[in-house]
């Protein structure tokens, strides 16, 4: 009967009531004054017989699946995959499983995924939202569904989120380039009005305006192939030969940008300085190593899980759901790629 036993079978074999066994297995024995001796008997027995609860049947009974949906822009991106791994570890310690998916920053795909997860009775959502799904997010909030956004959020919507101070982080990075002698700083970003990209652009603009330096901006459509990014950056550098440094507002733009710099036969950091947003192994292993704005992935993950578990408790208790708005600081990791331009001979 291995893995086939029901709670009724366990109760019969231990000569206990079904209710008693159920309370022990659901962690509610102590609050119902079940003795430690009975708790130990049940737990020892289920371990010996390798009892596996039927989670689907349980979800039908109590409306809870013990599943959290993690919807990232691109789960293969090093930043999002790092967050996902840490969240999985923390959630598992609290009895929750994580299901992952990539939205590809596509509103229609995101809507379909939310509907699918709703039909499958997931308990909570952690989402990097894309433009155009405001109504779906509003509906989740209105229905008291535990929800946390991260990396970006919708200004004006009352949702919980964990983000970083993108404006300040980028401003610090641009100031670093200026301090190293770079004066013609190009900004390569996505053609997007999402809050994280808007914040990074604002940091770039504010830093240059404060120093009286010119702006050079290249906006690349989301979803562009790497070859498109490489060609776009090469054309950008050809059009603005005076550019002496580049800031990439995402890690995958940085990867394509480095290939463009190589194809232009420019040396880093002598001919051109480079900083990218979000660290990755590619930047750490590159020669020279690339300076990055590094997000605190462990702290982000901790805050997301902590907040979502708290919301789940509030939802179960039928209380008001507190939706925390959390902004963290990123760190500039200085490496060789921004160590200073060539001095005139």
Which residues have CB under 8 Å from 345's CB, separation 6+? none
pLDDT score recorded for residue 2: 45
Is 1.10.260.40 the CATH classification of the domain at 7-53?
A: yes
Phi, psi for 248 (deg, rounded to 5): -105, 125
Q: Tens digit of pLDDT for each residue in 312-333?
A: 888 766 667 778 899 999 999 9
pLDDT at 343 over 70: no
CATH of domain 65-159+298-328: 3.40.50.2300
pLDDT score recorded for residue 315: 73
CATH of domain 166-295+332-338: 3.40.50.2300
| Token output for 148 | 């946390």
Domains 65-159+298-328 and 166-295+332-338 equal at CATH topology level: yes
The pTM assigned to this predicted structure is: 0.80
Domain spans in the chain, listed from the N-terminal domain onward: 7-53, 65-159+298-328, 166-295+332-338
Return the minimum-mean-pLDDT range out of 48-52, 66-70, 325-329.
48-52
Q: How many helices (H) and strands (E) does the chain have?
A: 13, 12
| Token output for 94 | 């609290």
| Token output for 229 | 């990014």
Closest CA to 299 of 72, 90, 75: 90
pLDDT at 61 over 60: no
Q: What is the largest CA-CA distance in the chain?
A: 91
Distance, in Å, from the CA atom of 71 to the CA atom of 75, rounded to the nearest integer, reads 8
Percent of the chain's residues with pLDDT above 70: 92
Residues 159-173, mean pLDDT to the nearest whole number = 97
């Amino acid at each position: 009967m291995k893995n086939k036993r029901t709670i009724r079978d366990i109760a019969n074999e231990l000569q206990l009531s079904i209710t008693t066994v159920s309370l022990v297995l659901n962690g509610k024995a102590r609050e119902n004054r079940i003795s430690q001796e009975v708790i130990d008997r049940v737990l020892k027995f289920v371990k010996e017989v390798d009892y596996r609860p039927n989670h689907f049947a349980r979800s039908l009974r109590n409306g809870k699946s013990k599943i959290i949906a993690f919807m990232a822009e691109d789960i293969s991106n090093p930043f999002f995959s790092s967050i996902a791994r840490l969240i999985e570890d923390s959630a598992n310690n609290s009895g929750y499983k994580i299901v992952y998916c990539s939205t590809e920053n596509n509103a229609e795909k995101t809507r379909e995924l939310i509907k699918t997860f709703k039909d499958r009775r997931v308990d909570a959502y952690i989402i990097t939202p894309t433009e155009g799904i405001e109504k779906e997010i509003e509906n989740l909030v209105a229905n008291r569904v535990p929800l946390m956004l991260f990396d970006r959020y919708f200004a004006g919507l009352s949702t919980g989120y964990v983000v970083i101070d993108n404006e300040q982080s980028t401003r610090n990075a641009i100031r670093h380039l200026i301090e190293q002698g770079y004066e013609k700083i190009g900004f390569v970003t996505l053609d997007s009005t999402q809050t994280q990209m808007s914040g990074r652009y604002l940091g770039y603009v504010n830093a240059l305006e404060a120093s009286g330096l010119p702006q050079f901006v290249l906006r690349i459509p989301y979803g562009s192939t790497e070859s498109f990014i490489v060609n776009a950056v090469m054309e950008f550098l050809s059009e603005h030969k005076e550019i002496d440094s580049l800031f990439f507002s995402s890690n995958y733009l940085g990867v394509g940008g480095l290939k463009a710099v190589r194809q232009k036969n420019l040396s880093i950091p002598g001919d051109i300085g480079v900083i990218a947003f979000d660290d990755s192994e590619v930047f750490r292993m590159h020669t020279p190593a690339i300076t990055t704005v590094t997000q605190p992935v462990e702290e982000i993950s901790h805050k997301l899980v902590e907040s979502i578990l708290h919301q789940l408790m509030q939802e179960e208790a039928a209380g008001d759901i507190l939706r925390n708005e959390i902004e963290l600081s990123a760190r500039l990791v200085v490496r060789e790629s921004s160590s200073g331009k060539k001095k005139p001979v």
